[in-house]
Amino acid sequence: MAFALSNMQLESSAFNAHGAIPEKFTGEGDDVSPSLSWRDAPDGTKGYAIICHDPDAPLVQNGGYGFVHWLLYNLPGSTTSLAENTGDGTRGKNDFGKMGYGGPMPPEGHGQHHYYFWVLALDKPTDLPEGLGLSELLNQLEPHLLGMNRLIGTYQRA
């Protein structure tokens, strides 16, 4: 990802920063996306995208590392929140090979993993097709990236 850290603030009513992600939002629970909200987007923001990535996953694939759990894009610039189990936006393909959100599910006995929920602010609205993978999505978004920030949650299988 391009480095474009900003003053945007991202939070969730489901978990606190660096806090445990409740089982409901994991592959061991209902596997639904948590609610997210953000504020203080950079001036000129016209669209958003969301990425959830687990850098602790012991994988190197397709020139990247970790595991992509969620790609959501084509969110209008007027969007400042997503409801739990949102139907907003356009779904990309996660590393489970499925469209949309796939919650935390680290390998058994692998300890605690960190899940980075990123919000990307863009200088133009997007109308990208459903099903893009991370590298395809970033190729489209990076030239339009104004700023980004993250919310980190943790999960460990019982």
Tokens of 140: 């489209």
Binning the chain into helix, strand and coil, the percentages to the nearest 5 are: 10, 35, 55
Q: What CATH homologous superfamily does 12-142 map to?
A: PEBP-like (3.90.280.10)
Q: Measured at the alpha carbon of residue 101, what is the angle toward residues 151 and 69, in degrees to the nearest 5? A: 60
The candidate with the shortest Cα–Cα distance to 102, out of 15, 49, 27, 23, is 27
**pTM of this prediction?**
0.94
Single-letter amino acid, residue 15: F
For residue 93, the tally of other CB atoms under 10 A from its CB is 19
Cα Rg of the chain (Å, integer): 15
Residue boundaries of the structural domains of the chain: 12-142
**How distant is the alpha carbon of residue 11 from its chain centre?**
12
pLDDT tens digits in sequence order for the chain, 158 residues long? 455 778 999 999 999 999 999 999 999 999 999 999 999 999 999 999 999 999 998 766 666 678 999 999 999 999 999 999 999 999 999 999 999 999 999 988 889 999 999 999 999 999 999 999 999 999 999 999 999 999 999 999 87
